[in-house]
Structure 1
């Protein structure tokens, strides 16, 4: 398998410019180079170009059919452990290395973002971090726990602030101690000949499976957790007094739930928003380090 995507190695042709090269070279977003390269390598893959257009309508049809089946089954019926074992097997055997790396990173970044808010909030609020090191670690119901952690955090934070009449406010010297580069590495991801499916196609493929194996409430909560991207972004922006950066975290208004049919696309957007938010936190941490290292009076 090639180590560099075509848009990096091919010469620029002004008569036929590569759109992926333009996105790769653009610096208007704060994504670090390795993340942007992996994201665009996955997005520009042949699987996404040729497989996704067929998978997406079929996946959405399956979501409708599964919803019909769910009408006639017990509402609490769920097989979470079996689902996560199946997901881990599918990721390990069929997803591209870049896709698997970005998925594992996502849980680390989400945990760090919640820990940052908790550390800088005016009240004490517990967090439950998820830091899977391998694809097999995901079998421990990590996807479901990720959604539960997000909702529980928002509820606990706001209940605690309401009880003492407090609210989030800009912090002069924020605590960035939890913000770091995840320990998972791209080179450790599986690279079999079957690891060909891109991130978006994989998400579209797994979404109806996720719906089938989980209860209605678990699936609804999972898809609508995506509405909280702006909520978390607002929390961070408030603490850092930097609301102008919310343009990078956009998954529609949290009070307007969207149809589960678009869950696959919104999950992809959620992953990118999380990477953007973490990159912004890293930038702010580095700026604070530079300020602290300057002599007084400068």
Structure 2
């Protein structure tokens, strides 16, 4: 059974209001109830409050040390399969159910967003969707493939547009058919006694390992794929003729590569941006089909 976040079970005290309840009820960020509840439950966990402040500087120092060590390592030294097996093992045994659920969702949502853009382009292109059914499916180099898919998609899309002599533009009839909720359940995620690590702490821990076991080129590309959030946001906004939605996407300018030291934090922003863009597309699909879109918020069960 999934856990109900503490901030949804406590009565509202005006002299000591819960910041997490305020964020949950706020409607400025378009997320479904279950996603926002899981996100805030993970963000308000003891792991993030007490462990993350210690893990983050250690992880960033480790990134610097590994970079020095890799000066003396062959450029093509890589153990991607072993890396992904270790990541899957760590996720299953130490990471919280909410964080694992959000991680698995991200692959599905990212694939759907790329498919949406590719299919609604005036020069349509195909995609290579990643839809892991469980954590074990991540062993198939899923994280690395996710980064490769993003850059390959941008290259294929813009090559097709240039070859056809057109630019991305507003679609006359937008196809939302690929936008749907993934068939993933929070209650199916591992819920052992050691599954306590929050999303941000897990990412900070795994980032140096990612750097160590991949080539410099793979790690650099993974870190800088995050700056394509604005690019994907612009593509979607252009197709929808809705530039106001770009305010929800902010992960630095795609033409200005940043240091890899903040890759962990930016990866969390990347995940949240994808969730919000997908949620907007879901609501637009519901509106197009003539049904009332699902409310962003519902009254929480207060005690």
Structural mapping, 1:215-226, within 5 Å: 215-226=215-226
Report how many residues are paired.
292
Equivalent residue number for residue 101 of structure 2: 101
Structural mapping, 1:68-87, within 5 Å: 68-87=68-87
Instruction: Out of 200-209 and 5-14, give the one that drifted further.
Output: 5-14
Structural mapping, 1:36-185, within 5 Å: 36-185=36-185
Equivalent residue number for residue 189 of structure 1: 189
- 1:194-230 Cα offsets, whole Å, 9 max, x none, are 0000000000000000000000000000000000001
Distance in 2, matches of 1:262 and 1:289, equals 41
Equivalent residue number for residue 201 of structure 2: 201
Equivalent residue number for residue 287 of structure 1: 287
What's the CA shift for 1:168?
Answer: 0.8
Equivalent residue number for residue 243 of structure 2: 243
Native 8 Å contact 2:207 2:264 kept in 1 = yes
Equivalent residue number for residue 21 of structure 1: 21
Q: Secondary structure at the match of 2:289?
A: helix
Distance in 2, matches of 1:222 and 1:285, equals 31
Distance in 1, matches of 2:272 and 2:124, equals 29
Question: Normalising by structure 1, what TM-score?
Answer: 0.96
Equivalent residue number for residue 296 of structure 2: none
What's the CA shift for 1:172?
Answer: 2.1
- 1:239-295 Cα offsets, whole Å, 9 max, x none, are 00001000111111111111100000000000000000100100111111118xxxx
Question: Normalising by structure 2, what TM-score?
Answer: 0.95
Distance in 1, matches of 2:20 and 2:90, equals 27
Distance in 2, matches of 1:167 and 1:114, equals 17
- 1:152-179 Cα offsets, whole Å, 9 max, x none, are 0000100111112111111121111100
Q: Which of structures 1 and 2 has the larger relative contact order (alpha carbons within 8 angstroms, sep 6+)?
A: 2
Native 8 Å contact 2:2 2:186 kept in 1 = no
- The unaligned stretches of length 5 or more in structure 1 are 292-298
Equivalent residue number for residue 297 of structure 2: none
Distance in 1, matches of 2:219 and 2:38, equals 28
Equivalent residue number for residue 294 of structure 1: none
Distance in 2, matches of 1:250 and 1:32, equals 20
Following TM superposition, where does structure 1 have runs of at least 4 consecutive aligned residues deviating by more than 6 angstroms? none
- The unaligned stretches of length 5 or more in structure 2 are 292-303
What's the CA shift for 1:122?
Answer: 1.1
Q: Secondary structure at the match of 1:181?
A: coil
Computed over aligned residues only, the root mean square deviation of the Cα atoms, in angstroms, reads: 1.2
- 1:62-96 Cα offsets, whole Å, 9 max, x none, are 00000001111111110000000000000000000
Instruction: Out of 5-14 and 100-109, give the one that drifted further.
Output: 5-14
